[in-house]
Structure 1
Amino acid sequence: MLTIINRIKCNLNLVLLGAALCSAAVAETPSAPDLTALAEHSFRSEEDKARNQYRHPVETLTFFGIKPSMSVLEIWPARGWYTDILAPYLKDQGKLTVANFRVDDGTMQDDRKIFWSRISERFSQRILKHKEHFGSVEQTEFDPPGYMFLGLTQQYDMVLSFRNAHIWNEQGYLLDVFRAVFDVLKPGGVFGIVEHRASRVSEISSSAVEGYLDESYVIAVAEHAGFKLQAKSEVNANPKDTKDYPKGVYALPPTLAMGTVDREKYLAIGESDRMTLKFVKASSE
């Protein structure tokens, strides 16, 4: 009888020990960062947080399927509006790389490129200054067609581009950039694009002034580069955007290129109507 009782006690102790080990393992597992909390974080300026209503960062990143353990590349983050959210989200379990515009070595002639270079330099210094927020963010330079290196082959789980495609298309490098993105994504990886959307005139044509792109065209270029369109979202749609302004998309906030002319009108419209596209790189058979 004592032997049976001792065995029962022994088995009970093993069960309790196993439960304790499981509890400890659960307690040691880092909790997933809260995107909503990061979007409203005190580190972000009030001006940037006010733009959440137009850019919908939580809904957009959730639609793309981001996870805190991913290796993510953000192309041309500019002043880091999205990076302020992405970096702390990924810093403990994942990895963020940003492809900034290249630094002006004194040979740049294009005023716009010089402007972008200065923005990238300031942003790069900001990342280094606030490591407690950003963590270890890897930085590289990207300026097609001369600077096309985005990383190693099949390096990233996700690549993100926010309102850059119209610039690459304007310069004639959209397909080249998409192919470069395809190369650095892992099989099954996601390419998330947010871009100013042109007005659709018919099934085969669209019309818009500076800064807008036709959604079907962007999809066709991405598919030509090897991607498959997995899903589209209207989370960043804006039906108030008539897309017929003298300075194109730049008449709208945040640029407000018309200055004081019809300023209240453009503020009432808000930021541009945008396509939100999720592409995948098909897994190898």
Structure 2
Amino acid sequence: MRVLSLLASAAALIAVPAAAMQHDGHAGHAAAKSGDAIAAAVAAPTRTPANVARDTYRHPAETLAFFGVKPGDTVVELWPGGGWYTEILAPLTKTGGGTLYAVAPWERGLNRIKEWQGAKPDVYGAVKLAEFPNAGANPKVPDGSADVVLTFRNVHNWRSGGAENTANAFRQIFAMLKPGGTLGVAEHRLNESDDSAKEEKSGYLKESTVIALAEAAGFKLAGRSEINANPKDTKDYPKGVWTLPPSLTEGETDRAKYVAIGESDRMTLKFVKPAS
């Protein structure tokens, strides 16, 4: 049987055109190089130790690889907050000759990044800052300039601002991407069978909700991953997703229980802007 299997494998290789094999080889080599660069950025000594400790929940190397992020890309990080992913994306794009935009409400949403730029210009000095959603008066990401736009646990915040606010956010994301560009979304995930009313205040959203929002802006779903799934998350807490780490809004009440659950169950969705 082993001989037959080897013969079948050899026949399959012969049947593949040489040009296709060469293309696959180049693609595999490029993917491997990107993976190495992402791994190096995740291991960067400039990362905050407390942030590194959360890699076990956020799987940054696998997540960025799934989204197809390359070190030479123009990458937009939406609402970076405390800069958890910025600590990885800044060295990644710097060493790879890419460009990183950090974009958020102007200017309060960018204060942490601005502090870092002053304190560590060698790491964060090249990060470009822009307003998002953009109202017209402040810097913006130029239309059609981004290879990848990334948002981590932000869609529920936009949605809390209303339907039009959310639709506008997705329209602006669509505009800033190049044709064929990628939108990567990680978001707290509500079960599809749960009451949709839970989406209003819990911090969790259904995958179907996020997909519908993206598709309404013109995106096409390109893939889903369970990289950031957490089956221990019961999603039934009176204070919503913020009950779990890192917020732990219940304080010392049942703290050990929530720490044992870990961070939330998350969807990881990849969308593309159609090339034409």
Give the Cα–Cα distance (whole angstroms) in 2 for the partners of residues 205 and 102 of structure 1. Answer: 31
Give runs of aligned pairs for residues 228-267 of structure 1, distance below 5 A: 228-267=220-259
Q: Is the CA contact 2:183–2:270 (under 8 Å) kept in the aligned structure 1?
A: yes
Give runs of aligned pairs for residues 146-225 of structure 1, distance below 5 A: 150-172=140-162, 173-201=165-193, 207=198, 210-225=202-217
Give runs of aligned pairs for residues 108-147 of structure 1, distance below 5 A: 117=108, 120-143=110-133
Q: Is the CA contact 1:159–1:192 (under 8 Å) kept in the aligned structure 2?
A: yes
TM-score, normalization by structure 1: 0.78
Note closer, same or farther for the CA distance 1:262–1:74 as it changes in structure 2 (3 Å cut): same
Give the Cα–Cα distance (whole angstroms) in 2 for the partners of residues 151 and 200 of structure 1. Answer: 34
RMSD: 2.1
Question: SS where residue 91 of structure 1 aligns?
Answer: helix
Amino acid of the structure 1 residue aligned with 2:101: T
Please list the CA deviations of residues 202-251 of structure 1 after superposition, one character each: whole Å capped at 9, or x if unmatched: 7x958565100111011011001100000000000000000011210000
Give runs of aligned pairs for residues 61-76 of structure 1, distance below 5 A: 61-76=64-79
Greater per-residue helix proportion: 2
Match of 2:54 among 51, 54, 60: 51
Give the Cα–Cα distance (whole angstroms) in 1 for the partners of residues 226 and 154 of structure 2. Answer: 18
Amino acid of the structure 1 residue aligned with 2:260: A
Q: Is the CA contact 1:87–1:135 (under 8 Å) kept in the aligned structure 2?
A: no
Amino acid of the structure 1 residue aligned with 2:237: Y
Amino acid of the structure 2 residue aligned with 1:152: P
Task: Give the corresponding residue for 1:27.
Answer: none
Amino acid of the structure 1 residue aligned with 2:159: N
- 1:146 to partner: Cα distance: 7.9
Give the Cα–Cα distance (whole angstroms) in 2 for the partners of residues 211 and 182 of structure 1. Answer: 24
Task: Give the corresponding residue for 1:98.
Answer: 102
Give the Cα–Cα distance (whole angstroms) in 2 for the partners of residues 170 and 143 of structure 1. Answer: 14
Amino acid of the structure 1 residue aligned with 2:272: V
Please list the CA deviations of residues 139-169 of structure 1 after superposition, one character each: whole Å capped at 9, or x if unmatched: 1122577889742210101100000000001
Note closer, same or farther for the CA distance 1:248–1:269 as it changes in structure 2 (3 Å cut): same
Structure 1 unaligned runs (5+)? 1-30, 104-116
Give the Cα–Cα distance (whole angstroms) in 1 for the partners of residues 266 and 149 of structure 2. Answer: 18
Q: Is the CA contact 2:104–2:130 (under 8 Å) kept in the aligned structure 1?
A: yes
Identity between Structure 1 and Structure 2 (%): 48
Match of 1:88 among 91, 106, 116: 91
Alignment size in residue pairs: 239
Q: Is the CA contact 1:175–1:225 (under 8 Å) kept in the aligned structure 2?
A: yes
Give the Cα–Cα distance (whole angstroms) in 1 for the partners of residues 140 and 210 of structure 2. Answer: 20
- 1:132 to partner: Cα distance: 1.7
Give the Cα–Cα distance (whole angstroms) in 2 for the partners of residues 148 and 238 of structure 1. Answer: 39
- 1:198 to partner: Cα distance: 0.6
Amino acid of the structure 2 residue aligned with 1:87: A
Q: Is the CA contact 1:141–1:147 (under 8 Å) kept in the aligned structure 2?
A: no
Q: Is the CA contact 1:198–1:206 (under 8 Å) kept in the aligned structure 2?
A: no
Amino acid of the structure 1 residue aligned with 2:54: R
Please list the CA deviations of residues 13-70 of structure 1 after superposition, one character each: whole Å capped at 9, or x if unmatched: xxxxxxxxxxxxxxxxxx7663223213221122100100000000000000011111
- 1:276 to partner: Cα distance: 0.4
Q: Is the CA contact 2:57–2:263 (under 8 Å) kept in the aligned structure 1?
A: yes
Amino acid of the structure 2 residue aligned with 1:34: A
Question: SS where residue 257 of structure 1 aligns?
Answer: coil
Give the Cα–Cα distance (whole angstroms) in 2 for the partners of residues 217 and 122 of structure 1. Answer: 30
Structure whose alpha-carbon radius of gyration is higher:
1
TM-score, normalization by structure 2: 0.81
